[in-house]
Amino acid sequence: MIRFENVDKWFGPMQALAGVSGEVGRGEVKVLVGPSGSGKSTLIRTVTRLETIQGGRVLVDGTDVGSRGVDINRLRQRVGFVFQAYNLFPHLSAIGNITLGLTKLRGMNKAEARERGLAELARVGLAEKADEMPGRLSGGQRQRVAIARSLAMDPQVMLFDEPTSALDPEMVGEVLAAMKQLAASGMTMICVTHEMGFAREVADEIWFMEGGAVLERGKPAELTGTSAHSRLQAFLASTRHGGSAA
């Protein structure tokens, strides 16, 4: 489904990704973990060319994301992206955020788009907030609207860039619940997150990144089990993020 082949990325003199390779199969959930600046977010941003790369290839369903001929906007419609800062459009209501893509890209009329949007909002438990402006929603609600906005485009893959990091602790659960539900439905997902509980529960594989490279990958139990001696575990122990591991 998604393949990274020796991906290199520089920000000026700083190498953000150093020869990253890996594959995400259909229906798989990968969780990327690592210290900040390790290249996790950059890696998933290369999948929809929010970041261009200087070396290697990123393939989505066999299509080279970086090639000149590719219709990047069409590709982006198939790959949902959820941001840490939600990035809802503040001048549009919750439902307006969702229907924008449907009317502009799917050719739906307003009524069809609204119906579809309401269905997506219902999936994340926010049908009654459809006409609220984002400014009047809590962080957790905003992020769930953002997830619904992406899902409305019928993506084949969902990318999550630290979706709960900007949230107050009491709101993390509702967003993770929506993500778990999505994973259970068979969605292909790559999640950058520090929520180790989530990783243990739904990840098919955890990639531990540091310095722009994937240092370690394995099943959650192998990397975080009590008998494991992994670099991931050392990292978790050394950071406060370990506290949310339970």
Q: Which residue ranges make up the site for other proteins (CB under 8 A)?
A: 48, 50, 73-77, 79-81, 83, 85, 87-91, 100-101, 104-105, 133-136, 146, 149-150, 153
DSSP secondary structure, 194-208, as one string? --HHHHHHH-SEEEE
Find the shortest distance in angstroms from Cβ 234 to other proteins: 33
Look at strands 205-210 and 157-161 and give their pairing: unpaired
Please state, as a whole number, how many other Cβ atoms lie within 10 Å of the Cβ of residue 183: 21
- Give whichever of 165 and 230 is closer to other proteins, judged by the CB atom: 165
Q: What is the rounded CA–CA span in Å between residue 66 and residue 88?
A: 27
* Six token digits for residue 231: 């670099």
Of how many residues is the chain composed?
A: 246
For 83, how many CA atoms within 13 A lie in the half-sphere containing its CB?
A: 9
CA distance to 27, 75, 129, 178, per residue, from 173 (Å):
23, 31, 19, 9
- Give whichever of 140 and 220 is closer to other proteins, judged by the CB atom: 140
Find the shortest distance in angstroms from Cβ 180 to other proteins: 22
Find the shortest distance in angstroms from Cβ 232 to other proteins: 29
3-state SS, residue 155 = coil
* Stretch (H or E) spanning 43: helix 40-47
- Give whichever of 39 and 101 is closer to other proteins, judged by the CB atom: 101
Find the shortest distance in angstroms from Cβ 117 to other proteins: 13
Find the shortest distance in angstroms from Cβ 223 to other proteins: 30
- Give whichever of 150 and 233 is closer to other proteins, judged by the CB atom: 150
Give 204's contacts (C-beta < 8 A, 6+ positions apart). 28, 29, 30, 219
* Stretch (H or E) spanning 145: helix 139-151
Find the shortest distance in angstroms from Cβ 101 to other proteins: 4
Find the shortest distance in angstroms from Cβ 79 to other proteins: 8
- Give whichever of 26 and 74 is closer to other proteins, judged by the CB atom: 74
- Give whichever of 80 and 140 is closer to other proteins, judged by the CB atom: 80
- Give whichever of 23 and 89 is closer to other proteins, judged by the CB atom: 89
* Six token digits for residue 90: 């503040």
